[in-house]
Amino acid sequence: MKYGSLIPLRKNDVLRHLKGNVACLCLFRKNTVLSEVTRYRAAILQKPVRSFQVVYKKHTLTLDDLLTLADQNWLNDQVMNMYGELIMDSSHQKVHFLNSFFHRQLMTKGYDGVKRWTKQVDLFSKRLLLVPIHLEVHWCLVTADIVQKKICLYDSQGNGLQKVGRNILKYLMTEAKEKKQTAFESGWTVKVPQQTNENDCGVFVLEYSRCLALTRPLHFSQKDIPKIRKRIYKELCDCKLHEQD
């Protein structure tokens, strides 16, 4: 009822929940419960509960959206954008997360095509700008440290697509000119931090964003991804970021 499936739960989470229900414990032994958890997970992946939804502000997630966090599935835009909203709220609006469709719109229609996207937002009053980039079958992240005027590209596959970083740089300089923020019209640098070659690029983008927004070290790797996927699923359903994993 809370999460729409058992996907984000560990088997111990289920057992701990059942400990409070004497009837359940009388009917099922531990091994039976665990086998049922495994069977139900497989069934819900094949035939999701269509009526389950998470609604938060302008975002609506279906169980199909949330199931992109299961196993090694590709994250979709709906998950990316709602999690970005949670990141902004947790940063007390000192961080701005641009919609995952922003870069595509910028590339196809230029600055005029995205000019209205920040009509109610002063990007230059923020500490950090996060821009998720969806490159067909790959996600990466561009960040802009507004105070230091530094743009960084975080790419879990280590491709170092500096062109993407330059696209955002050009956008910010144009935005500064349009908003008459002369201090931000020049002096920017673009850097690509050293990274390892990893999979699960969408999850890496969300975890990069979370750590950078909350000023936490990037101490995670591919082996942590299954646990991170479950935590993100829970956070989306709870409509808030958790203090600890």
Q: Which of 13, 64, 77, 138 is catalytic?
A: 138
Q: Which of 134, 155, 200, 237 is catalytic?
A: 155
Q: Is 201 a catalytic residue?
A: yes
Q: Which of 59, 65, 201, 237 is catalytic?
A: 201
DSSP the chain: --SSSSTT--HHHHHHHHTT-HHHHHH--HHHHHHHHHHHHHHHHHS--TT-EEEETTEEEEHHHHGGGSTTPPP-HHHHHHHHHHHHHHTTTSEEE--TTHHHHHHHHHHHHHGGGGTT--GGGSSEEEEEEE-SS-EEEEEEETTTTEEEEE-TT----HHHHHHHHHHHHHHHHHTT-GGGSS--EEE-------S-HHHHHHHHHHHHHTT------GGGHHHHHHHHHHHHHHTS--S--
The catalytic residues are: 138, 155, 201
